[in-house]
Chains A and B, each alone.
Chain A
């Protein structure tokens, strides 16, 4: 059964980890990548703040089970993105 999402970025529908030039790390299902940045659905953000798990532990949990969404949809600005990786490949 094919998808219904032709014409989108190859990462469309894939759960990705988006690293930024700041402390924020986003995990979500990629909808598209365009001139605005990376558009994520059902996304969570890890800022490394007080009360949050260390980044490595956060990623370990995300890799095992996924993330609890904080945003239905969010755009990570292109200028801030330093890397995009598939969560399933971590």
Chain B
């Protein structure tokens, strides 16, 4: 059963307040995924503070990178069930976990940070991993 929207709101706003697009429906996800040019990062947000408590500030810090992805969006596991299921369908070869973070470049999945590589780590460490991935997969201007 989903948590109260009131409880979850600050966890949503921790990302939406910095411009991360919330995908609330399957149609939102399909629309967002239909654009394949450039780099795109999807954050699977979650309530559990064991990992998500570091994932969100890690994402915030990572997005200060000069190589930040062209598009960044989020679905909320356990809350926006339809959107999360649809998003996981785009990374169907990878076991679902939340929080987790996926990065695509030109429509190809190039990086995935599963929950167990967020657990027990600091926001700075999560940010460093993400920034390294941004740099490795940054768009190259022809």
Contact = CB atoms under 8 A, between A and B. Distances in A.
Interface residues of B, number: 23
Main secondary structure of the interface of B (DSSP, over half): loop
Main secondary structure of the interface of A (DSSP, over half): loop
B120 A67 contact: no
By size class, the interface of chain A is 10 to 19
B116 A87 contact: yes
A30 to B, nearest CB: 10
Nearest to A65: B94
22 contacts: A1-B11, A1-B14, A1-B49, A1-B56, A3-B49, A3-B53, A4-B48, A13-B119, A14-B50, A14-B116, A14-B119, A14-B120, A65-B94, A65-B95, A65-B114, A66-B94, A66-B97, A66-B116, A87-B116, A88-B116, A88-B118, A88-B121
